[in-house]
C-alpha cells in the first residue's frame, strides 16, 4: 500500500508538469538557482549605511550593525535555515559590517543547540558559498 501524496506535493507536481508542457526548457529550471542570480542585483550596503539604518544611529549605546546581523543570522537558522536568499544576504552584509568568517561560523555552530544539526549544516553550506564568493572577490 502506498501513502497518498500530501496536497502540496500533488499541487507542486501538477504545476511542474504544466510548466514542462508549456515550455520544455522549464524541465531543468531550479527556482533556488534562479533566485540566486537575483541576489546579485541586491547591492551590499556599505558598513556606514548599515550603521545608520540598523546600528548606533537609532540607539547610541545599542548594538552595532555587525552584532545585529549575527543575531539575524541566528534567527534565520532557528527558523530552520530555509530562507536561502535571506541567509546568504545576511552573511554577505555581516561580512561587510565587519564580521569575521570565524564569528559567522561560531554563530551558526551555536544555533545547533537551538535549531538542530540539519539547520546548522544547511546554514554552514549557504554561508560557505557566500564566503567562497567573497574570497574569489578578494583575489
pLDDT per residue as tens digits for the range 47-61: 777 777 766 666 777
Question: For residue 92, is pLDDT > 80?
Answer: yes
In terms of DSSP H, where are the helices of the chain?
Answer: 7-22, 31-39, 47-54, 65-78, 84-96, 101-110, 112-115, 117-138
pLDDT for 20 equals 75
Looking at residues 115-129, what average pLDDT do you find? 93
Unique residue bearing C-alpha cell 546568504: 88
The pLDDT value given to residue 139: 42
Question: Does the pLDDT at position 36 exceed 70?
Answer: no
Give mean pLDDT, residues 16-43.
67
Distance separating alpha carbons of residues 43 and 77, to the nearest angstrom? 23
Positive or negative torsion for Cα 128, 86, 94, 76: negative
pLDDT band at 124 (very low <50, low <70, confident <90, very high): very high
Whether the model clears a pTM of 0.75, i.e. scores above it, the answer is no
**Mean of pLDDT values over 9-28:** 75
Say if CB 109 and CB 120 are below 8 A apart: yes
93, three cell numbers: 552584509
Q: Tell me what pLDDT residue 63 has.
A: 82
Average pLDDT rounded to a whole number, residues 29-53: 65
Report CA 131 to chain centroid distance, whole Å. 12
Cα dihedral 27→31→32→33 (10° resolution): 60
Amino acid at each position: 500500500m502506498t501513502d497518498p501524496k500530501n496536497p502540496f506535493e500533488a499541487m507542486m507536481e501538477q504545476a511542474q508538469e504544466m510548466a514542462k508542457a508549456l515550455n520544455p526548457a522549464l524541465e531543468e529550471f531550479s527556482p533556488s538557482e534562479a533566485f540566486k542570480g537575483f541576489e546579485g542585483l541586491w547591492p551590499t550596503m556599505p558598513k556606514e549605511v548599515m550603521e545608520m539604518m540598523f546600528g548606533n544611529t537609532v540607539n547610541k549605546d545599542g548594538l552595532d550593525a555587525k552584532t545585529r546581523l549575527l543575531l539575524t543570522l541566528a534567527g534565520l537558522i532557528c527558523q530552520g535555515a530555509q530562507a536561502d536568499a535571506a541567509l546568504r544576504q545576511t552573511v554577505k552584509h555581516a561580512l561587510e559590517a565587519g564580521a569575521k568568517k570565524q564569528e559567522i561560523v561560531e554563530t551558526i555552530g551555536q544555533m545547533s543547540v537551538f535549531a538542530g544539526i540539519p539547520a546548522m549544516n544547511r546554514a554552514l553550506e549557504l554561508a560557505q558559498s557566500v564566503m567562497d564568493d567573497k574570497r574569489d572577490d578578494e583575489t
